[in-house]
Amino acid sequence: MEAWDAIRARRNVRQYTSEQVSAEDLDRIAEAGWRAPSAKNRQPWDFVIVTDRDQLRELSTVWQGAGHIASAPAAIALVVPVPPSERRLVTDTYDIGQATMAMMIAATDLGIGTGHSSVGDQDKARAILGVPDGHQVAFLLGIGYPADRPLTPIRRPNRRPFSEVVHHGRW
């Protein structure tokens, strides 16, 4: 798939087929996150790839919107150090967002769907994943083949009109 088509086809997928995602594809998706830009090239992230069914079920309970993780063939947890300042919180959050989007586009390119989730219960998430103290699980990314329809460019996305969002030169 061309990059532009992957961008247009990407959508949140929260229902997956039972088909497993290969280790090679999971590594490629993680590599896309690893290659993402970051402020001062600090690369604050670590990624934990999870394919164990019991672990995925447990992870689905760390946030009210994480239910789809239980039925996903895989998930990637995005982990960052607890930020030492408000400024680092801002830059690390931006960086982890870039890594997340890079992974989503790479997955879409492979025909694999993704659905992101926040993490509310940090203690539980860290325990499930063995994340050391001083770090937090920023987000979860469910990964699997879409159960409803394949990933193809969306012709009419549910978005605010382009002409209302994009401004040239001035607001």
How would you write the pLDDT of the chain (171 residues) with one tens digit per residue? 789 999 999 999 999 999 999 999 999 999 999 999 999 999 999 999 999 999 999 999 999 999 999 999 999 999 999 999 999 999 999 999 999 999 999 999 999 999 999 999 999 999 999 999 999 999 999 999 999 999 999 999 999 999 999 999 999
DSSP-derived secondary structure letter, 70: G
Match 């280790």 to its residue by tokens: 23
| Residue 124 confidence (pLDDT) | 97
Q: Report the distance separating Cα 19 and Cα 164, nearest Å.
A: 40
| Residue 1 confidence (pLDDT) | 72
Give the phi and the psi of residue 116 in degrees, each rounded to 5. Answer: -90, 160
Strand locations in the chain, DSSP E?
A: 46-50, 74-81, 113-118, 135-144
